[in-house]
Structure 1
């Protein structure tokens, strides 16, 4: 994404984007990378990210705790015997990607990454060039059928066997509540018994209405077009028809935490909740 630069040089002067990418428009994937301390972001992403940090000072911890939740859930599912994973809205590569966690637990697994951000696709393909068990395809969360019926997915994934579908920190970029419910239901309906769906979703937590309004304004300038926190009751409804694994729908840092994981104290601001649902 960037040219090599000398020490002390202004990185904004050397940023380059692939053809068709406007680096002046923030991307939620690159903002998330910025929150996690990554380097795959442009000045526009960092400016937008810092606006969110001013509004929601705990946002970097929120991102880190969400990333840890992803790792714990896929590690649990791999240990439980799941050998097929579809990660939708995978985002930019960082440490402990899904395939790294899964293949460490179960080397015979198959992993499919799905994203509609061109820069994510470029980076993921470069990262996975030598990994025969992991592929990346372009796909839009809003079109579940197109993802599940993609020829590369059908070739890689056996839908007669259990599959884990991961929608981690992605559904809150879809504005319409009915559409979000329909997306979750569409994936669940296509999976056989013993499959699992992993979802995390942002809530407003202890943020004021004004903080939420301003935060949505910042995200409204991004390629995603906005962010839409939802109450627990709506997020819980995304698991209708599924059997929630213990401890149910909880703040992501409380889902079977490991020692040393990020913990966000009450009253700190935004909260991301998550759960794992099993297809009965």
Structure 2
């Protein structure tokens, strides 16, 4: 085993089965405290990647996440939340997972071990040189992800990665790697824990910053959110009331008439 494999190293704790529930919870929490400093150290890496993504998306490019297991699921989660939150096209941020959509709920045997499949999945989406592909893998060694990032780079596509091991094959293959070194997991090798938490935080940072820079937020408000349920209609109504100084009934009427807070504010200010 490589000395660099932090994610596979032994937990700092032992005899977990002998701990009380309170001890387990406290110790898991102690380990979780190490995630935020690790992400903070990676901010310069995240910044370099996001700046490139913003420019490319403004020119018509898309953002792809590609991963396996927990990492793949987190990418799909982030991608799936962007259209309803910010009112953008479903194809702007795309999440791909080893084994296809069925792997979102249940592991697909050996899918992540094939270095050719990731690039094939990208090609099926007609990936091009305006797009950006981010590989997500805690270990930084997953063949599905490393293969995809390697081929994307060879084809002139900007690549990034999110990994939790230093100097991994994935980071070496990506143009702009992000390394969040969170240390050994509480349960040895269980990267759904600290590693997964760090990945989720970084994904939040990437797409939230991207959406703000694309003008999908005004002030601090999601003015382009899709009105898919009563809670969001009420939230939009409150935004319009605050911005235009009108009563609730009028604000709601305008929101439902125009379909988004942004359109109401543009037409009625």
The answer to whether TM tops 0.5 is no
Could you state the TM-score of these two structures normalised by the residue count of structure 1?
0.36
Between structures 1 and 2, the one with greater strand share: 1
Could you state the TM-score of these two structures normalised by the residue count of structure 2?
0.37
Larger Rg: 2
State the structure with bigger RCO (CA 8 A, min sep 6), 1 or 2.
2
